[in-house]
Amino acid sequence: MTPLLTSPLSPTTLSSAANAALAGKTSAAAVTSKAAKAKAAGQDFEAVFLNSMFQQMFSGVGQGPFSGGPGAQIWRSFLTDEYAKSFVKAGGVGIAPQVERELLAHQEMK
């Protein structure tokens, strides 16, 4: 799979713990709280991005299942938020791993 985003940082610039976390190895020594936080932040970022995309996509759709009452927009926003979270949970579109990698790389540089 070709990454959607490119980075000037290669995996060789990361520490062994960061590389192990990115590779999915879950030994207690390899996975640090920084790696777990970076993964969560990447997934949250992707969910926000997808939610924004879904809101734009649904703006052109008619009333749908909401019958157009005064609360339809509120419920539609809840629906797009849940769609975004389920997409990320199912693997997303490839943004979260890139964000995670960049966060870990920037933490290593400090």
Over residues 8-27, the mean pLDDT reads 57
For residues 50 and 99, is the Cβ–Cβ distance under 8 A? no
Q: What's the pLDDT at 60? A: 72
Cα distances from 74 to residues 69, 81, 92, in angstroms, run: 10, 11, 24
pTM of the model: 0.65
Among the residue ranges 15-24, 75-84, 92-101, the one predicted with the least confidence is 15-24
At residue 90, the 3 state secondary structure works out as: coil
- Summarize pLDDT for 28-72 with one digit per residue, the tens: 554 478 889 999 999 999 999 999 999 998 877 766 665 667 777
> What are the CA-CA distances from residue 12 to residues 17, 69, 101, 109 (Å)?
12, 55, 12, 13
Question: What span, in angstroms and rounded, lies between the C-alpha atoms of 102 and 96?
Answer: 10
Query: What is the pLDDT, as a whole number, of residue 6?
Result: 47
**Which is more confidently placed, 60 or 17?**
60
The answer to whether residue 25 scores a pLDDT higher than 90 is: no
**pLDDT value at residue 16:** 62
- Extract the tokens encoding 28: 């207690």
pLDDT at 33: 85
Tokens of 13: 């610039």
